[in-house]
Amino acid sequence: MAVSDLVLLRHGESTANADDVFGGWLDVDLTARGRREAVRAGELIRDAGLRPAAVHTSLLRRAVDTADLVLDALKRTSVEVHRSWQLNERHYGRLQGRTRTSVRQEFGDAPYDEIRRSYDVAPPPAGLPGAVVDGESLADVRRRVVAYWDTAVAADLRAGRTTIVVAHGNSLRALCMHLDGLSPQQVTTLNVPTGVPLLYQLDDGLVPRTAGGSYLDADLALAGIAEVRAQGRGRK
């Protein structure tokens, strides 16, 4: 049975992550730490013996720059790179640009957790005139991510190309939900760390051989997941 290698990678730490801000579709930069994370991710992918032939990223600079740094570390120049808004981070409506702590203080603990972690609750819209997207639930993100998976990423994998998807916390949660068949309740506890490659080996039907995949550095992943869990609670 043929096996296709898929690497999922959340961008390196961004300025929004460092400031504990809801970044969403804001086009923020990587921090110096985030750039180091991206280079290290490339080295981990290289050391695992993976040679990507296709890369898919969002349109946001933090993902695009992460992908570029990964490919530089891999010394890979003849790689197809595709960018799509469908891999963008969740749009946080009027919460974009605000600190998580301030949102928690405004809404209270339970509503904050529901907005941030639930499957089908969207944040309040920003009310921008003519906005195509203005506040998404994870269910909304899943619809666009799965549509892109079906039309673009799956084709590369079926063609035998080792593929990297460089995206964001919520777009990758949505994709993991699809790959692993997670329920809306199960996905509420799923966290994705910045800058740690997650390897899925997929069979002919693009079903994971191991549920949840495997991080190429498990210790780094655990530390990063702990940071994600702590967001909005007065510490990074």
Q: Residue 236: what pLDDT?
A: 35
Here the CATH number for the domain that contains residue 218 is 3.40.50.1240
User: Residue 44: what pLDDT?
Assistant: 99
How many domains would you assign to the chain?
Answer: 1
Q: Is 89 a catalytic residue?
A: yes
Of the candidates 213, 157, 164, the one whose C-alpha atom is nearest the C-alpha of residue 2 is: 157
Residues whose CB falls within 8 Å of the CB of residue 26, separated by 6 or more in sequence, listed in order = 16, 96, 97
Give me the residue label for tokens 């009310």: 127
pLDDT higher than threshold 50 for residue 235: no
Q: Looking at this protein, which amino acid is placed at residue 62? A: R
Residue 175 lies in a domain: no
Percent of the chain with pLDDT over 70: 97
- Indicate the SS3 state at residue 55: strand
The residue from 89, 91, 136, 168 that is catalytic is: 89
User: Is position 36 within any domain?
Assistant: yes
Q: What is the pLDDT of residue 132?
A: 79
Q: Which range marks the domain in which residue 79 is found? A: 4-144+181-188+210-230
The question of whether 114 is a catalytic residue gets the answer: no
Has residue 182 got a pLDDT over 80?
Answer: yes
